[in-house]
Amino acid sequence: MFHGTITEELTNHEEWSHYNENVIQDHKDFVFVKFSGLHLKSMENLQSCISLRVCIFSNNFITDIRPLKSCIKLVKLDLHGNQIKSLPDTKFWSGLKHLKLLYLHDNGFAKLKNVCVLSACPSLLALTMFDCPVSLKKGYRHVLVNSMWPLKALDHHVISDEEIIQNWHLPERFRTYNCRLFFNFCPALKKGSTYEDEINNIKYVISKINEIMAHNSPVLIVQRWIRGFLVRKHLRVKQ
> pTM for this structure?
0.84
Q: Tell me, what CATH number does 143's domain have?
A: 3.80.10.10
205 in a structural domain: yes
pLDDT at 50: 92
7 in a structural domain: no
12 in a structural domain: no
59 in a structural domain: yes
CA–CA distance, 32 with 163 (Å, rounded to integer): 35
Q: List the domain range (segments joined by +) for residue 199.
A: 24-217
Domains held by the chain: number:
1
* Alpha helical stretches, state H, the chain: 8-11, 17-20, 90-94, 112-115, 140-145, 161-164, 195-216, 218-238
In tens, the pLDDT along 128-150 reads: 999 999 999 999 999 999 999 99
Report residues of the chain scoring pLDDT below 50.
1-13, 15-17, 19-24
94 in a structural domain: yes
Give 77's strand partners: 55, 102
79 in a structural domain: yes
Task: Report the chain's C-alpha Rg in angstroms.
Answer: 20
CA–CA distance, 53 with 59 (Å, rounded to integer): 19
pLDDT at 26: 61
Q: How many CB atoms lie within 10 A of CB 222?
A: 10
73 in a structural domain: yes
165 in a structural domain: yes
